[in-house]
Amino acid sequence: MKAAVLDSIKAPLRVEDRPIPEPKPTEIIVRQRITGICYRDILEQDGFFPRAKFPVVPGHEITGIVTNVGSEVRGFRIADRVASLIYKPCGTCTYCMSGNENLCPNKVTYGENVDGSYAEYIAIDQKSAVKVPNGVGEYEAAIASCVTGMIVHAIRKIGNIKPGQKILITGAGGGVGSHAVEVSKLLGATVIAETSSPDKSEVLKSLGADHVVQFSERFDRKVRDIIPEGVDLALETTGNYTFEQALRSLKVGGGMIVVGNINPEPAKLPLGILILKGNSVTGSISSTRNDLGEALELAASGKFKAVIDKTYDIEDVNMAYSEIRSRKNTGKVFLKFR
Ligand SMILES: [Zn+2]
Ligand SMILES: [Zn+2]
């Protein structure tokens, strides 16, 4: 099988032939046709994840058909269609036991601590796998954990968004932001989409954005022109580029949820605003099996569609990275194996 390998920090990816992996007792072998590229994978190449093992097969947006199962696997068999969490939870810590496995301190992340999804066949643990219901497309299944499930977790579970509330989504043209626009609309919110690319406005409106705001030094003023009292919730998908303005866009008592940090420089936090307006800033990480199930249900309903920018052959993975780095993509960039 073909696999793309990252040998070390800053190295270009290298495509090589590898044997199909054999399952350990609790593992499932999944044959993939496609996988998503995540900004997290780009940050890994930049050296943002010091605990990554090298060389590593990056990638964690996993879906496909089961081709082999380990001796202790229960509930999955050959030919099942599955999607996967981006990590293997330990299954025994207090977080795992209370359904908060996204916070598991012992989790092992695919594409980082073990080989990931930039390969036609991948070994995943049965604790990571969820069956894909009928009616879910393969692109929707591939992003169900890292993108859709992560958004569901952030804005519904942590942000507790209600129909009619107003949400600001920063970096709305990107892989996370574009799908966050869709999910927020499905949950009944009014969506203000912030983007730095004027040419992404129409796409964002077609995805359901009620208002599109162009990035500027003080785009919070444009948000206030639209919603004078400020938004109920801000979903911060980019990090320090937009953090302060997103905070300034909140209404009194409003909250921000941070899910993206594409620039590792710390953000500036105006404490006076936080105190005087009683705002909250919360981080949200990844998704649980429950969130993954909800994301797949959204896709099965037919109301949620993946925003596909382009699908590259695995051999062209470095080209795909360049496109994402230039932030020209609207929606997700994928890799295909044949
Ligand atoms: Zn991802
Ligand atoms: Zn755990």
pLDDT, tens digit, 9 for 90 and up, residues 245-284? 999 999 999 999 999 988 878 998 999 999 999 999 999 9
Residue 303 CA to ligand 2 center (angstroms) comes to: 33
Give the number of domains in the chain. Answer: 2
Host H or E run for residue 177: helix 175-186
**Do 194 and 130 lie in a common domain?**
no
Domain span at residue 270? 148-283
Establish if 288 belongs to a structural domain. Answer: no
Q: Is the pLDDT of residue 56 over 90?
A: yes
CA angle, corner 141, sides to 136 and 142, nearest 5? 155
Tokens for 49, please give them: 């994840």
Residue 40 CA to ligand 2 center (angstroms) comes to: 22
Q: What is the pLDDT of residues 133-146, one digit of tens each?
A: 999 999 999 999 99
Residue 39 CA to ligand 1 center (angstroms) comes to: 7
Backbone angle region of 302, left / alpha / beta, with phi > 0 → left and psi within -120 to 50 → alpha? left
**Do 49 and 120 lie in a common domain?**
yes
Tokens for 323, please give them: 């496109």
**The domain spanning residue 318 has which CATH number?**
3.90.180.10
**Do 119 and 248 lie in a common domain?**
no
DSSP β-bridge partners for residue 214? 195
Establish if 166 belongs to a structural domain. Answer: yes
Cβ atoms of residues 305 and 144 within 8 Å: no
Q: What is the pLDDT of residues 207-253, one digit of tens each?
A: 999 999 999 999 999 999 999 999 999 999 998 899 999 999 999 99
Give the pLDDT score at 51.
86
Establish if 296 belongs to a structural domain. Answer: no
**Do 195 and 222 lie in a common domain?**
yes
**Do 230 and 319 lie in a common domain?**
no
Higher pLDDT, 259 or 331: 259
**Do 6 and 137 lie in a common domain?**
yes
Establish if 24 belongs to a structural domain. Answer: yes
**Do 68 and 123 lie in a common domain?**
yes
Establish if 299 belongs to a structural domain. Answer: no
- Pairing of β 250-258 and β 231-236: parallel
Of the ligands numbered here, which is closest to the C-alpha atom of 99?
2
Residue 296 CA to ligand 1 center (angstroms) comes to: 16
Cβ atoms of residues 245 and 218 within 8 Å: yes
DSSP β-bridge partners for residue 159? none
Tokens for 95, please give them: 């977080």
Give the pLDDT score at 111.
98
- Pairing of β 190-195 and β 166-169: parallel
Rg of the chain over Cα atoms, rounded to whole angstroms, equals 20
Establish if 301 belongs to a structural domain. Answer: no
Tokens 């409003």 identify what position?
254
Give the pLDDT score at 70.
98
Q: Give 3-state DSSP helix, strand, coil % of the chain, rounded to 5.
A: 30, 25, 40
**Do 250 and 180 lie in a common domain?**
yes
Tokens for 307, please give them: 């925003």
Closest CA to 122 of 1, 292, 296: 1
Residue 37 CA to ligand 1 center (angstroms) comes to: 7
**Do 251 and 276 lie in a common domain?**
yes
Cβ atoms of residues 325 and 39 within 8 Å: no
Q: Is the pLDDT of residue 50 over 90?
A: no
Establish if 294 belongs to a structural domain. Answer: no
Of the ligands numbered here, which is closest to the C-alpha atom of 98?
2
CA angle, corner 36, sides to 159 and 246, nearest 5? 30
Q: What is the mean pLDDT of the chain?
A: 96
Residue 146 CA to ligand 1 center (angstroms) comes to: 5
154-160: average pLDDT: 95
DSSP β-bridge partners for residue 49? none
**Do 324 and 272 lie in a common domain?**
no
Q: What is the pLDDT of residues 188-202, one digit of tens each?
A: 999 999 999 989 999
**Do 75 and 57 lie in a common domain?**
yes
Through-space distance between the first and last CA atoms of the chain, rounded to whole angstroms: 10
Give the pLDDT score at 122.
98
* Protein residues within 5 Å, CB atom, of ion ligand 2: 89-90, 93, 96, 104, 106
Residue 191 CA to ligand 2 center (angstroms) comes to: 35
Q: What is the pLDDT of residues 90-103, one digit of tens each?
A: 999 999 999 999 99
Q: What is the pLDDT of residues 293-329, one digit of tens each?
A: 999 999 999 999 999 999 999 999 999 999 999 988 8
Q: Is the pLDDT of residue 338 over 90?
A: no
Rounded Cα distance, 85 and 70, in Å = 18
**Do 93 and 67 lie in a common domain?**
yes
